[in-house]
Amino acid sequence: MNRPLLEVSSPNPENAPQLAETCAALGTDYRVVQDRVGLVTPRVICMIINEACYTLQEGTASIQDIDKSMKLGTRYPRGPFEWANLIGVSRVYEVLKALWEDTHEERYKVCPLLKSMYLRGEQFQLNE
């Protein structure tokens, strides 16, 4: 997503020199993270999107209000529904499903609204 810092996993520490060389050739900084489903950034963003879906499903706030609140309150560059559409609802669903299957932690259980959007192949309507 056009980030200046790559998030990579390297299960084999012997590959560290090649990784450093490749990233240097690309002119890209990187951080090695644990080799787990979802890595770090996708896991966090997908969880935020999922929680936003629960908030929308419960009727607590609209898509526009949730996106605006997250941008103003956290200074994120995008709201959760903007992220979902940019990443793709199907990718968000698949990351969360894989996390749930890997961990069985409640925080990764896919919101029914997100699942229905995925099954219908829809995106979130950002403008009312």
Distances (CA, A) of 64 to 8, 12, 83, 106, 125: 33, 44, 13, 26, 9
Mean pLDDT computed over 26-36: 82
> Residue 73 pLDDT > 90, yes or no?
yes
Phi and psi at residue 27, in whole multiples of 5°?
70, 35
Reported as a pLDDT band with limits 50, 70 and 90, residue 8 is confident
What is the overall mean pLDDT for the chain? Answer: 90
Reported as a pLDDT band with limits 50, 70 and 90, residue 34 is confident
Phi and psi at residue 40, in whole multiples of 5°?
-115, -60
